[in-house]
A and B are shown apart, each in its own frame.
Chain A
């Protein structure tokens, strides 16, 4: 007979799912920004997150810099790297009508990053172990790890900062304007290249922050990024393409779905269910679960 699990289990699953899903969410926010301005599915976002995780690990192992403290290094480096990646790799392709070109550059960048990591750090699974890695927090009788909670807070803070930037600053408003209508934005004197570069800078900086969260929480390897990109895409679709808060919420929902499917159905089905939900949302609610109608690209 099937015993109905105790209610504690639901709390624990929800918490695990939400904490893990926030990682997808923060990756999705980056994807959302880049897709918004460039209409580019930046498949390399997951690889950028893993690259940041290795960077965090290197800072920790070589210089003893605490992973969470390394945020003050990783985020500015991410901003600069994103700006450079746009100027060096995507600027020329951004004006081409054929958007396959940008997509392929993203794929090339992903290959390049994955394999550079393999060459430098080897293909084995790596992780960051600190004095507090094993420590836990008890909330309402359920246990969660300190690092996962920190990861969740980083995701929340990163998303919050991006939202503030987009809503409160004129440059942020220009990014939103360009996402909605690039031609009209250019008639306001807004340079598409500048907006694209900003989206990339912020997107990669977010990947840096996510890298810190991943490095402290999960074991990772150079090729773990792609599945991360896919999950971020699912989160993006769930939350509604073009909505930053929705992307984070979409990630959390995806995390919840995965946690419950894993417990009740089995680990090997989580991906199929996740992508099934993804397809269903794309087909029946393309504006996302709580999104406004979005102009179809």
Chain B
């Protein structure tokens, strides 16, 4: 298994070296890949709770938004670095502490909401509950007054980067880190427990697994990863508003990408993110007036003809086999 994953390592290394290719930084492919990374991270997050955990969350966009807001609030209020900020004006950029806090805020929210939701609601009811939660969070931020900037949101103080290079490398690094972390996790005792809960909750519980704890941990983990993705996006967009970062697309698109790539597989979400974002982006360039129509069609066609995901075709690539 370790040896067979090497093809992905080669791809990652090639992507890491891509910026050194003459002209690559100014090319369109660069910002394209940055968004693929964001969606790949979000898809991994959704796959953790839904694919491996079997709990369909329709509220993951809330965690993305929480991460984005946490980053913008810490930064614009300079809550972290005090006077250091004056001497190092770029200190908040891709600051690991800020990004980790963004993830933790989302994870904390997930744990607080997940505890009642996951202990009381099963299946579709959990999905509906998370959907309601996402909408509530959005309204709370619209009504958050000066702290959240109301309906307009918050503009991060600075926009002094001329290239996307740091975004690109951070995105790539986070994507790789998330894949490795989830890969290791699913090999651990915890991962086995998560799959056991997904496949047969009663049997898992009979075998001494604390199913609620396992599910809450997966939900919080999924939220953490989504929150970090939201943080990363903030460094790109600077303006964090309720309608933009709590947009349902931040949940629906990763969900779709994961299903197209293959739910419950390690590399499926990444492949799905790449393929679907490429389809959407291509549509936007080729038929600019109709591109959302094409997106809708693409989803329907993918589901009609590839209902089990690209992963089931496999392309002979490793990491596309469903575990469990």
CB-based nearest B residue for A275: B132
Once the chains bind, are A108 and B255 in contact (CB under 8 Å)? no
Shortest B110–chain A CB gap in Å is 15
Once the chains bind, are B131 and A233 in contact (CB under 8 Å)? yes
B204 interfacial by beta-carbon distance below 8 Å: no
Once the chains bind, are B307 and A92 in contact (CB under 8 Å)? yes
Q: Which of B18-26, B216-224, B233-241, B285-293 contacts A (4 or more CB under 8 A)?
A: B285-293
Quick one: CB contact mask for B293-305 with A, threshold 8 Å, 1 for yes? Answer: 1011111100110
Once the chains bind, are B131 and A230 in contact (CB under 8 Å)? yes
Once the chains bind, are A296 and B123 in contact (CB under 8 Å)? yes
Contact A286-B299, Cβ < 8 Å, known A104-B255, A276-B136 = no
Once the chains bind, are A119 and B300 in contact (CB under 8 Å)? no
CA–CA, A116 to B295, complex, Å?
11
CB-based nearest A residue for B129: A282
For B299, give its contact among A111, A275, A276 (CB under 8 Å).
A111
Shortest B220–chain A CB gap in Å is 18
CA–CA, A35 to B303, complex, Å?
19
Interface residues on A, range: 35 or more
Once the chains bind, are B128 and A96 in contact (CB under 8 Å)? no
Once the chains bind, are B263 and A111 in contact (CB under 8 Å)? no
Once the chains bind, are A104 and B304 in contact (CB under 8 Å)? no
Once the chains bind, are A112 and B128 in contact (CB under 8 Å)? no
Once the chains bind, are B263 and A104 in contact (CB under 8 Å)? no
CB-based nearest B residue for A92: B304
CB-based nearest B residue for A115: B292
CA–CA, A104 to B298, complex, Å?
11
Quick one: CB contact mask for A35-67 with B, threshold 8 Å, 1 for yes? Answer: 100010100000000000000000000000000
A100 interfacial by beta-carbon distance below 8 Å: yes
In the complex, chain A residues whose CB is within 8 Å of the CB of B297:
108, 112
Once the chains bind, are B293 and A112 in contact (CB under 8 Å)? yes
For B143, give its contact among A119, A269, A296 (CB under 8 Å).
A269
A101 interfacial by beta-carbon distance below 8 Å: yes
B residues near A (Cβ < 8 Å) are: 50, 56, 116-117, 120-125, 127-129, 131-133, 135-136, 138-140, 142-143, 151, 248, 252, 255-256, 259, 263, 289-290, 292-293, 295-300, 303-304, 307-308
